[in-house]
Amino acid sequence: MNKETIAIYYNPRCSKCRDVAALVSEQGYNTELVKYLDIPPNKKELSELLHKLGMKPLELIRKGEEVFKQHFVGRTLSDDEWLDALVAYPMLMERPIVVRGEKAIMARPAEKVWQFFK
């Protein structure tokens, strides 16, 4: 059993999140389920996560969400403003995000998590 912990930004209602959590667990890793809707990450945490992902804030936005359509569709925001939007509306954050040490990936599809086990 591998004692290393892999963090998963997780929404329990999301089947892809559940699939990723199962794949990580099956490989013998401890999982830390980061329920970001219950305890949203702050701006600093989001910035660090984006750095690990190698992404810009807009790339993390779920554009199909109703809150996006109501408040942000057609708007051009700076990276800092998108971070503010993610803090205010954590449901805009794409998922699942898997973090292992200083690296993170967007695990869509769930099988992308295999990159961490090579």
CA 75/CA 30 separation, integer angstroms: 40
**How confident is the model at residue 104, as a pLDDT?**
96
Q: Are 110 and 19 in contact (CB under 8 A)?
A: yes
**How confident is the model at residue 107, as a pLDDT?**
95
CA 5/CA 114 separation, integer angstroms: 15
**How confident is the model at residue 33, as a pLDDT?**
96
99 alpha-carbon distance from chain centroid: 9
Give the mean pLDDT per block of 10 residues along the chain (118 residues). 84 94 91 95 97 96 95 95 97 96 92 83
**How confident is the model at residue 114, as a pLDDT?**
87
CA 64/CA 5 separation, integer angstroms: 31
* Residue 50 CB partners (closer than 8 Å, separation 6+): 56, 57, 60
pTM to 2 decimal places = 0.90
CA 36/CA 33 separation, integer angstroms: 9
B/e letters for 28-45, b = 16+ CB within 10 Å, e = fewer, are: ebebebbebeeebbeeee
**How confident is the model at residue 1, as a pLDDT?**
54
Total count of domains within the chain: 1
**How confident is the model at residue 111, as a pLDDT?**
87
Q: Whole domain around residue 46: which residue ranges?
A: 5-117
What CATH number is attached to the domain comprising 51?
3.40.30.10
**How confident is the model at residue 4, as a pLDDT?**
85
Catalytic center residues: 14
